[in-house]
Amino acid sequence: MIIDIRLDGIKHSLIEQENPRSIAQILKGTDIDRNLVLSYKINHREYVNEDYVPDRETLVNCITYNHPEGNRIYQDSAIFIMAKALHTLMGNEHSMVVEHSIGDGIFCEVFNTERFTEQDCARIKEEMIRIVEADIPIDRIEVKTEEAIDIFSAMARKDVLKNLKYSYQESVHIYRCGKFYDRFIRTLADRTSMIRSFDIVYHAPGFILRFPTSDKHGEMNSFNLPKKVFALHQEHDKWLDILRVHNILDINELNDKYEISQFILVEEALHEKKIAEIAADIITKKEVKLILIAGPSSSGKTTFAKRLSVQLQACKAKPIVVGMDDYFINRDKTARKENGDFDFESIYAMDLEFLNMQLTQLLNGDQIELPHYDFTRGVRRRSNNYVKLGKDNVVIMEGIHGLNDTLTESIPANRKAKIYISALNQLNIDNHNRIPTTDCRLLRRIIRDHQYRGYSAEETIIRWRDVREGEEKNIFPFQENADYMFNSSLTYELGILRKHAWRLLKNVPPSSSAYMEANRLLYLISHSKDISDALVPYNSIIREFTNGSIFSY
């Protein structure tokens, strides 16, 4: 019997054994530090603890914090421990809401208390440390739905109860740690002692639970709050208050009551209003002639650029769209990554000298011939497309490097307007189960990749880790350079994406390394009800990923 051991998806060793042994016993003969392993993934299909005994040939993937799945397990487990600490300190009187990611942490608020203070943060951290040092098991248990309702009724968890009462399942999985219970839709660590490094930073009106960024769970980095992104989150939170929704169940109820159409119109109107405000403000700055738009994958940059162009025209400007991708250097000169793939996401995959020369000429009033990049052959060609900037013209460029000043270093700052766009979802399943922004963008990309590029969900999921690494390197470090920020998230979009993504995710084979991720996404979207595509306006950002947009791409 062969046990295929992998560490964060990378082949580590093959161990042959005659008699079944637990994973803990099997790993004793390897150099893998079990203290760093948050969970073990068996044959791409399920998470188990180290007591699991494989009784046939098995692939055992040891998941650490350095892996995206391990990172998710660590963060959710830290949130669970924080919830337990708050329950110990404040009982059932308080209500904690996990709201959104920010920097290297998660922003949370505590309600039903007079005033949450910096001293309260210190008490929570102290209690969390005590829980971690106590090394308490975190047990995933299955209980009858009626029993779960009794448990969470006693804890005054109205947010969980609302979902349970709409559940058609006879039983549900919940987590228990001592006498504390909570419900999490994702996997948690097996013991509290696995969450060794964290911090809590007071930031009125709530606090930020921070996580380590190194793969060794070392010291926390110094904290730098991304103020502009945080303000964008807070603005969206006000939108949710206007719309009176904070979780998926609220959207489902609007759908059930046939009120979702008006809701969609109001939310889309908020989007249009924000785009119009950005366009109007840019126009007041007469010296600005270059508008740069950047954001992570599947944020809706292309549709945003087109809608911004419409609003600029409404302000009597005449936009000229210049394709950033047409300034790639020839493929044979493109640097490669360590794995041998071309590094197309590096800023140095762009012909920076040529780009800056053309932009300088254009902004000086000269006529230029825009390039055209032949992606099939990997070379730049002539386009015979000549442009010249007139009095009312502005140039729009969108791409991942738009906020990096190295891209347009020859253009004076006062001649540029930089816009950051991202789908910063703040919709929750319940108070402790947020829907990560990354998941919404991944669902968008799975649908678009299939619709326009012919990729399977499996292929997109497998590529997603590289996409995320590119974003961490080339986009997020520059987001605070933006002059304007736009949140492209639509609160109702899971109801639209669900039906498009469901079949694609179901087609991921059980033998694939993407299988569990596909199942996790299926479980996420199962909380939402379908919303008809016919209710979505034809200029909506979400139509960039489904179909029927009024814009051509």
Query: Residue 376 is encoded by which pair of tokens?
Result: 């099939």
Residue written as token pair 């893998």: 32
Q: What is the tens place of the pLDDT at every residue in 391-408?
A: 999 999 999 999 999 999
Tell me the CA distances in angstroms from 252 to 185, 280, 470, 491, 530, one per residue in order. Answer: 18, 36, 35, 11, 9
pLDDT for 86 equals 94
Q: Across the strands, what pairs with 162?
A: none
Long-range contacts of 212-216 (CB under 8 A, 24+ apart): 212/65, 212/104, 213/104, 215/64, 215/65, 215/66
Q: What is the tens place of the pLDDT at every residue in 81-107?
A: 999 999 999 888 888 999 999 989 999
Three-state secondary structure call for residue 211? coil
Query: Residue 553 is encoded by which pair of tokens?
Result: 């791409």
Q: Are 427 and 494 in contact (CB under 8 A)?
A: yes
The alpha helices in 155-259, defined as continuous H runs, are 158-165, 227-243, 248-256
Q: Are 410 and 359 in contact (CB under 8 A)?
A: yes
Three-state secondary structure call for residue 412? coil
Q: Are 396 and 370 in contact (CB under 8 A)?
A: no
- Which residues make Cβ contacts (< 8 Å) with residue 490, sequence separation at least 6? 267, 268, 271, 540, 541, 542
Q: H or E segment at 48?
A: strand 46-48
Tell me the torsion sign for CA atoms 55, 61, 62, 64: negative
Q: H or E segment at 3?
A: strand 2-7
The alpha helices in 315-407, defined as continuous H runs, are 352-363
The pTM of this model reads 0.92
pLDDT for 94 equals 84
CA distance 9 to 69: 10
Angle in degrees, CA 259, 261, 267, rounded to 5: 105
Q: H or E segment at 4?
A: strand 2-7
pLDDT for 214 equals 60
CA distance 463 to 78: 27
CA distance 481 to 552: 30
Chain centroid offset of residue 527 CA? 18
Q: Is the preceding peptide bond at 205 cis, omega within 30 degrees of 0? A: yes
Long-range contacts of 176-182 (CB under 8 A, 24+ apart): 176/138, 176/139, 176/141, 177/80, 177/81, 177/84, 177/131, 177/136, 177/137, 177/138, 177/139, 178/84, 178/136, 180/83, 180/84, 180/87, 180/88, 181/151, 181/152, 181/155, 182/80, 182/83, 182/84, 182/432
Query: Residue 428 is encoded by which pair of tokens?
Result: 């929750």
- How would DSSP label each residue in 256-277? HTT-HHHHHHHHHHHHHHHHHH
If you count them, how many residues does the chain have?
A: 553
Low-confidence ranges of the chain (pLDDT < 50): none
CA distance 404 to 419: 11
Q: Are 389 and 289 in contact (CB under 8 A)?
A: yes
CA distance 498 to 508: 16
CA distance 306 to 319: 10
Domains of the chain: 2-64 (3.10.20.740), 70-225 (3.30.980.10), 230-544 (3.40.50.300)
Tell me the CA distances in angstroms from 542 to 165, 404, 447, 485, one per residue in order. Answer: 31, 27, 11, 18
Three-state secondary structure call for residue 486? strand
